[in-house]
Structure 1
């Protein structure tokens, strides 16, 4: 009986929670330069507070563009390990929490709930910088138990988001990796990566780096509302070209593929990527884990009310009747008739334009060594 009562209470709280979310959505208005205006509470929030509009000055209710805030963190560890069969790496390093790019679909948004912050607007305005990341990486690489394998840099959030321009944490991390002969793979949608061509070129000559560039759309209007603080699709193609001319191996990610929103561009992106020298290309279907689902629903209703229900229905068709399916082997591609059609279209375009399906260039782990430092035993010899 106690179990039944507890379950009923949980269902009641869940209903209140989601009703509060949808009520909040109805009051939100898009903010120029931000992916969402919602301050959606994280799934671990203990309580929700509703403010009566009659108790607040009108000017305080108006939507304004919040400034980006950065908190500086002294991290305790920096290398994260995973065992997912869906991704081609087991080690990763993330210099930042949150991402100013503001991509409304970002699968990393739910991680802000662990910080007691909103996966909505807080995710793109309240950022954390791990200021000791380079020193910590060097310490972990030098540990006697460390065994070298490629490290993916900037997976949860973009390592080249705007605050990197001033803080240069990613550049410091790359410098450490070059000194140790530590192979690295990077994923970004930013032009800022070209700032580090000097380090990346030297790493590429030693087979220590691979870069993946995400190209979501070539439509500037869609880019501005879907991923507002990122470079345009055409600019990203030029970044790919510059990296390839510098001898750096590059993979393109058509990600995410969103039915009725950008899926019609897939063949065009594949062709354009081949034309500017990309070596391989992959795609990822839209993923809507946890709080990302209601945020994306709100975005659809705001920007594409005429097709919102069709987009959501097609997503559910590819996710077993749900908005998200977390099963390994399915979460990146979906399943069913429509997922198969997307897959066939993509592979046909990739073969037509001669691009590879190789997920990562073969990075060399045999060059790894801990550099000698002044004061080390036998350093004089």
Structure 2
């Protein structure tokens, strides 16, 4: 895979480079041959392609995760969080965990139908589904595709419990739906907080909502009677760990009832 440009050259993007796909049999490297060429653009447009879903639920046996099944309506995430532990998964689709992860997104079609089929299996055992284990189900793409909303509607119809994690205020679009689920004790929402420093946030999470907007989302979710907590994640030693107490205080004042945390993870391609 050819590098798209020098580090830190793309506006509004988290990754500063495009690491090669480690599963690819060959690798290309751009070399300057000395000839004149036009200056590369400093912006990259977001591309979206459809993928027909063969299954819905993903299963895990990780002892450090509080759930055994998750549901991901999209692959990749336009929020572009530079630290995202899900980045390496993009290599499975012959895409880079770097800039491709946040600019070349995959929308999964037929997911609601596949989920309904799996929930109706005779041997299915009901336990909470985690929505957004490997992406953000309320990233900008959701505004047009609305796959997350349709999944929640199905889960409400089936009276199936769900937890979801997001950095987006788009979750407020579904306030009434989530409130109805809360009446049946079917939902818990976690709003992720990393830092209260807006400048740091722009570097770490370029296209996610601001810290103040996320606190407003917590406040409105709580006011609507929806159980809401905060996920202090990731805690980055030497960079954000000194903010833990302030983050918890701010989330508590906004109405968060519970809190959890996750230490920074640096899987293969993310560490550089």
Task: Please indicate the TM-score interval, normalised by the length of the shorter structure.
Answer: over 0.9
Number of equivalenced pairs: 272
Residue number in structure 2 paired with 1:29? 8
| 1:37 CA displacement | 3.5
Residue number in structure 1 paired with 2:132? 154
Asked if the contact 1:102–1:227 (Cα under 8 Å) also holds between the matched residues in 2, the reply is yes
Larger Rg: 1
Say which SS state the counterpart of residue 188 (structure 2) adopts. strand
Q: TM-score, normalised by structure 2?
A: 0.95
Task: For structure 2, list consecutive stretches of 5 or more residues without a partner in the other structure.
Answer: none
Distance of 2:241 and 2:200 partners within structure 1: 12
The structure richer in helix per residue is 1
Cα pair distance change 1:44/1:56, threshold 3 Å? farther
Residue number in structure 2 paired with 1:134? 112
Distance of 1:101 and 1:84 partners within structure 2: 25
Asked if the contact 1:30–1:36 (Cα under 8 Å) also holds between the matched residues in 2, the reply is no
1:68 to 46, 52, 64: 46
Pair 1:253-2:231 in alignment: yes
| 1:30 CA displacement | 3.4
1:125 to 86, 91, 103: 103
Distance of 2:34 and 2:161 partners within structure 1: 57
Residue number in structure 2 paired with 1:288? 266
Task: For structure 1, list consecutive stretches of 5 or more residues without a partner in the other structure.
Answer: 1-19, 295-381
| 1:168 CA displacement | 0.1
Distance of 1:231 and 1:27 partners within structure 2: 26
2:242 to 238, 261, 264: 264
Asked if the contact 1:42–1:291 (Cα under 8 Å) also holds between the matched residues in 2, the reply is no
| 1:267 CA displacement | 1.1
Pair 1:193-2:204 in alignment: no
| Larger mean Cα displacement after TM superposition, 260-269 or 25-34 | 25-34
The structure richer in strand per residue is 2
C-alpha RMSD of the superposition: 1.8
| 1:51 CA displacement | 2.1
Deviation per residue, 1:326-380 (Å, 9 max, x gap): xxxxxxxxxxxxxxxxxxxxxxxxxxxxxxxxxxxxxxxxxxxxxxxxxxxxxxx
Deviation per residue, 1:269-321 (Å, 9 max, x gap): 11111111111112211110010011xxxxxxxxxxxxxxxxxxxxxxxxxxx
Residue number in structure 2 paired with 1:169? 147
1:143 to 99, 113, 121: 121
Say which SS state the counterpart of residue 221 (structure 2) adopts. helix
